[in-house]
Amino acid sequence: NGAHTEEHANLSKKKEIINKLKELSENAGEDIQNEVQKLIDEYNAVGHVPYKDKDKIYEAYHDVLDKLYKDLHISIAKRRLDNFKNNLQNVAKNGGEALDNERSRLMRRYEGLKQEINTYENNLGFLNVSSKKGNTLIEEMNRKVEKLKDDLKLVKEKIKAIDAKNKENE
């Protein structure tokens, strides 16, 4: 059957790409990031694999990528942004409305995060540190604020990526 033959060919291609990624991870240098991105794009362009192999190939792919990103000291935020940009390619194919919807969703998230940060920072002003528990609470709130600021930065980058994609499509 033609579909099965194509899926098995896709499986072979994906295994080949995973092997190339493994080789890159063993020879990890500074200049391999572009090569990794090319292989990721190539992997994403390959079609479906046989259903029974889907989870195994997915796991192998992400295990290799996780190791590579760890070796290259690439942050989780950068990885999320890269994944988002890859997904933008697919969203853009579905038309501008999908991009606009995603941008609106991100803008709402951005405003919500800003409001949450302001609330935490405002509440921090009311706390006084007279006990060890109070100090622990302040430290925890500061960690939350930092995480929210990181999330805010990521959302802002995603919005910029959508804007760039929209400009590209004009």
DSSP letters of 3-62? HHHHHHHHHHHHHHHHHHHHHHHHT--GGGHHHHHHHHHHHHHS----HHHHHHHHHHHH
Residue 41: CB atoms within 10 Å? 12
pLDDT at 30 over 60: no
Domain boundaries, the chain: 1-74, 95-170
| Mean pLDDT score across all residues of the chain | 83
User: In 3-state terms, what secondary structure has residue 53?
Assistant: helix
pTM as predicted: 0.57
pLDDT at 107: 95
**CA 120, CA 142: separation in Å to the nearest integer?**
8
**CA 44, CA 146: separation in Å to the nearest integer?**
33
**CA 82, CA 166: separation in Å to the nearest integer?**
17
Provide the pLDDT confidence category of residue 29 given band limits of 50, 70 and 90: low
Residue 40: CB atoms within 10 Å? 18
pLDDT at 132 over 70: no
